[in-house]
Structure 1
Amino acid sequence: MSLRKTCLPPGWYPQTSEGVSRFLAKILQENRDDGTASAAVAPHAGWRYSGAIAARVFLSLKRDADTVVVIGGHIPGGMSPLMAEEDAMETPFGEMPVDKEFRLALGQSLGCLPDRYTDNTVEVQLPMVHYFFPAAKLLWLRLPADENSFEAGREIARIAEKIGRKLVVLGSTDLTHYGDNYGYSPHGGGKKALAWVRDVNDANFIAAVKSGDPRVILDRAEKDRSACSAGAVLGALGFVKAEAQGSGAEAELLAYGTSADVNPHVGEVPDSFVGYGAFCWR
């Protein structure tokens, strides 16, 4: 059996099961666990910055899934989807098995290439996936930022119905990357820049996700640089639309924040920061 080992260095998320459980304990006490969503989108930064926001997503998801499909990104439009080929994934809770039958069917249908790269968009989600879905299998997929990813989400739903799988689908994206670190600072720095990211740029992308229109989502992500992995959002949306036979519930914003919120210098805005949103479809 082939095993995909963890690749991200220490600091992205707790390295032990005890550390993950401690991180989640307070969040579980303070937030309602309703478990009614079949698809969601979570941020993928280090847990210090976005872990609490991501956890809100997991609390929203149905727990009876046979397979959890995690859709990452960081792939430009026009490129092929990437899929991990290993039989299991290493997490702080041990080895999480891959749904090999589903992987084979979906990989052939989408023309996926092997994902042999270190990338945070999927890996950073896996400790929470394994914690909240200890008996489920996994599928690691990354989709490009183009409209084909919406159709890929629909194909995920079609194959799940064909082979009899209960799924939850988790897309993975961060929002605006602002500041010199990212070569993007159209509104200068400080509090004015942070307010613009929160109230305008990220707010416009959130509205696009709520619109349920894949073209609007892509347009906002590309023109405003307000999402780094829009294809992952489209994959989750396509799955929802297929499940609901075209209608689908409006996306719900569960939580929002930025990396500036955890700046140790209270009241100061760092030179560079990133926005994070948690969405689900019920």
Structure 2
Amino acid sequence: MRGARPPAVAGRFYPADPAELARQVAGLLGAVDAGADSPAEAYVVPHAGYRFSGPVAASVYARLGQARRVVLIGPAHFVPLAGCAVPSTEAFATPLGKVPVDVEGCRRLAGTGLAVTDDRPHEPEHSLEVQLPFLQTVLGDGWTVLPVAVGLATVDDVADVLDTATAEPALVLCSTDLSHHLPDPLARQRDRRTAAAVLDLDPTRIAPRDACGRHALAGLLGWARRRSLTPRLLDLRTSADTAGTPDRVVGYGAFALGRAYRR
């Protein structure tokens, strides 16, 4: 194992200044009325710049309980990847400090052949990184992250990764945005269909253009079906609702998947 992965998108997707970042995250969390929701076993959360998807992401993070391990899966946007990849680094750094990587969890996934050890998909990737400042704020110290970059992978591939990664208690987070660069009315229509597929735990209804983290999301749904988890929609918006124009938007969804929910 080697040192810490430095932040790749600080100053672009979220503030690079620690004090400014802390204020922004606190403000996003403070705007959410989470009620008395029980913490779930898994969540789906978006990963765009905070001014765009931060309010939707906060609807997940304002509901988290305590966790000592976080399994974080999301797409590899920049480096071609077959299957899943874990890093060789001992920590992921953000402006708020370093998050220890679950080194043994990474070795277990690589040792069983469910993932490869490869830092290349992780180095430029924002889908996992942007979740960390929220987690650092909510969870404080004393937790580890098991980061899994997902490329071309089957539902069972990802579900098997999650089964192995959660052999010890862990919170599971799946990072994905929804539709991309459609006019707002068309985006909302497509995202409603994707949300319905998530709520039905049906990965076969998530098409390639429905979510940039399609393979990670489909695998999460397969794993949730194995675990008899029940999904619930927390928030569904587009960038036109937050900081963008309606002519070309990105869709954002937040979902909880837990055993305590009833449809």
Which TM-score bucket, shorter chain as reference? Answer: 0.7 to 0.9
Q: Give yes or no for contact 1:73–1:145 (8 Å, CA) kept in 2.
A: no
Which residue of structure 2 lines up, in the alignment, with residue 212 of structure 1? 201
Which residue of structure 2 lines up, in the alignment, with residue 141 of structure 1? 148
The reply to whether residue 232 of structure 1 matches residue 221 of structure 2 is no
The reply to whether residue 83 of structure 1 matches residue 104 of structure 2 is no
Of residues 103, 115, 122, the one that matches 1:111 is: 115
Q: Give yes or no for contact 2:41–2:171 (8 Å, CA) kept in 1.
A: yes
Which residue of structure 1 lines up, in the alignment, with residue 261 of structure 2? none
Give the structure with the higher percent strand.
2
Give the number of aligned pairs. 250
Q: Residues 19 and 153 of structure 1: is their aligned pair in 2 closer, same or farther, counting only changes over 3 Å?
A: farther
Query: Larger radius of gyration, structure 1 or 2?
Result: 1
Which residue of structure 1 lines up, in the alignment, with residue 233 of structure 2? 253
Residues in 1 aligned to 2:38 and 2:102: alpha-carbon distance in whole angstroms: 22
The reply to whether residue 126 of structure 1 matches residue 110 of structure 2 is no
AA at the equivalent of 1:4 = R
Which residue of structure 1 lines up, in the alignment, with residue 60 of structure 2? 57
Taking only the aligned residue pairs, the percentage that are identical comes to: 32
Q: Give yes or no for contact 1:151–1:238 (8 Å, CA) kept in 2.
A: no
Displacement of 1:78: 8.0
Residues in 1 aligned to 2:215 and 2:153: alpha-carbon distance in whole angstroms: 6
Q: Give yes or no for contact 2:83–2:152 (8 Å, CA) kept in 1.
A: no
Q: 1:57-97 CA deviation, whole Å, 9 max, x = no partner?
A: 1223331x221111111469981212121001101221111
Which residue of structure 2 lines up, in the alignment, with residue 269 of structure 1? 246
Report SS of the residue matched to 1:120: coil
Task: State how 1:141-180 maps to structure 2 within 5 Å.
Answer: 141-148=148-155, 150-161=156-167, 165-179=168-182
Task: State how 1:8-27 maps to structure 2 within 5 Å.
Answer: 8-27=9-28
**5+ unaligned residues in a row in structure 2: which ranges?**
259-263
If the length of structure 1 is used for normalisation, what is the TM-score? 0.80
Q: Give yes or no for contact 1:122–1:172 (8 Å, CA) kept in 2.
A: yes
Displacement of 1:168: 0.5
Report SS of the residue matched to 2:237: strand
Q: Residues 73 and 20 of structure 1: is their aligned pair in 2 closer, same or farther, counting only changes over 3 Å?
A: same
CA root-mean-square deviation? 2.4
Q: 1:17-47 CA deviation, whole Å, 9 max, x = no partner?
A: 4223312333433422635111011111000
Residues in 2 aligned to 1:157 and 1:20: alpha-carbon distance in whole angstroms: 34
Of the structure 1 ranges 39-48 and 231-240, higher mean CA displacement relative to structure 2 is found in 231-240
Report SS of the residue matched to 2:15: coil
Residues in 2 aligned to 1:212 and 1:56: alpha-carbon distance in whole angstroms: 20
Q: Residues 25 and 8 of structure 1: is their aligned pair in 2 closer, same or farther, counting only changes over 3 Å?
A: closer
Residues in 1 aligned to 2:166 and 2:240: alpha-carbon distance in whole angstroms: 40
If the length of structure 2 is used for normalisation, what is the TM-score? 0.85
Q: 1:134-187 CA deviation, whole Å, 9 max, x = no partner?
A: 221011111135424x443344334532xxx320011011111125xxxxxxxx
Q: Residues 111 and 262 of structure 1: is their aligned pair in 2 closer, same or farther, counting only changes over 3 Å?
A: closer
Report SS of the residue matched to 1:209: helix
Residues in 2 aligned to 1:29 and 1:48: alpha-carbon distance in whole angstroms: 15
Q: Residues 80 and 25 of structure 1: is their aligned pair in 2 closer, same or farther, counting only changes over 3 Å?
A: closer
Q: Residues 207 and 29 of structure 1: is their aligned pair in 2 closer, same or farther, counting only changes over 3 Å?
A: same
